Amino acid sequence: MPEFEFKLISRANKAEEARIISDIEDTIISTYRYYAITIDGETKGVVNSIETANTVIDEVKSDLLEGVELNIGMVEIFTTDKNIENIDETKNVLNGVKLAKTDAYKKEQEEKRKAAEEAKRKKAAARLAQTTTPGAVTGSLNGMSISRPVSAIMISSRFGSSGSRRSGHTGLDLACNTGAPITPISAGTVTFAGYKGSYGNLIIIDHGNGVQSYYAHCNSINVGVGQSVSTGTVIGGVGSTGNSTGPHLHLEIRVNGTPINPEGYLY
């Protein structure tokens, strides 16, 4: 603060009051306090009071998307500049930064989602790529040799009740590409070839010895009822007909009418 002193002067030197005030103003320096609003430590605007600063910050943060980091702060500043408050401009700038950060966040999330999807797809493709030879004998049941019906070895759902299934799963689900050839697990005679409820397109083969096999959700059927088939016969193509969420073969093996777990005979 400057120091002032009162002095008596001659009446002849009487000065105008306005002149005295302007002289005083010329000799002092006024400093004003403001609040700078910052994002990531960088000043984005200036307001006069802490209350205004808080109001502006609250307003900008009010509809901030969860997950978006807005590192917003406030710094006390002192300056000789007068009337530098710019509330509207501050809000505009802050909202602009918020929008940019929100867009960047959304883009990042979308990229993460895409990468995860791609990784999942690659994993599934890699598993599908590990193919086996259909028709090769893998087991025996009631003295009858059993072969794999499709080349894929990815089991998408096992026999019995597991996971989200409330009732037991009566077969083995083998994930395949749509149209992948299906061959019978053993030689036999076709006893059904057509659409059947949740099975979708279904082929049933009777192998004798009380053994039957079901091939469900097919997208194509190449055989007819009464036809004799061997493990070299392509009886149909894998599909997703009936109650199915994606292309796969639902293989069911029934012994005297009761479904058994096919897994041990095939893999």
Return residues touching Zn ion (CB under 5 A): 171, 173, 250
Measured CA to CA in angstroms, residue 251 lies from 212, 217, 238, 255, 267 at distances of: 11, 10, 11, 13, 13
Helix-, strand-, coil-residue percentages of the chain, each rounded to 5: 30, 30, 40
Q: Which is nearer to Zn ion, 30 or 245 (CB)?
A: 245
Closest separation between CB of residue 221 and Zn ion, Å? Answer: 18
Residue 32 in tokens: 């004003």
Residue number of the CB atom closest to Zn ion: 250
Closest separation between CB of residue 243 and Zn ion, Å? Answer: 9
Closest separation between CB of residue 132 and Zn ion, Å? Answer: 19
Q: Which is nearer to Zn ion, 90 or 241 (CB)?
A: 241
Closest separation between CB of residue 44 and Zn ion, Å? Answer: 59
- Dihedral over alpha carbons 180, 181, 184, 185 (to 10 degrees): -50
Residue 95: partners with Cβ closer than 8 Å, 6 or more residues away? 60
- Could you please report the per-residue DSSP string of 161-195? S-TT-SSPB-SEEEE--TT-EE--SS-EEEEEEEE
CB hemisphere CA count around 235 (13 angstroms)? 37
Q: Which is nearer to Zn ion, 44 or 250 (CB)?
A: 250
How far apart are the C-alpha atoms of 190 and 229, rounded to whole Å? 7
Closest separation between CB of residue 248 and Zn ion, Å? Answer: 7
Q: Which is nearer to Zn ion, 177 or 209 (CB)?
A: 177
Q: Which is nearer to Zn ion, 72 or 252 (CB)?
A: 252
Q: Which is nearer to Zn ion, 91 or 250 (CB)?
A: 250
Closest separation between CB of residue 250 and Zn ion, Å? Answer: 3
Closest separation between CB of residue 242 and Zn ion, Å? Answer: 10
Q: Which is nearer to Zn ion, 173 or 183 (CB)?
A: 173
How far apart are the C-alpha atoms of 175 and 66, rounded to whole Å? 38
Closest separation between CB of residue 141 and Zn ion, Å? Answer: 19
How far apart are the C-alpha atoms of 150 and 131, rounded to whole Å? 9
Q: Which is nearer to Zn ion, 67 or 246 (CB)?
A: 246
Residue 87: partners with Cβ closer than 8 Å, 6 or more residues away? 45, 47, 52, 56
Contact 206, 191 (CB under 8 A): yes
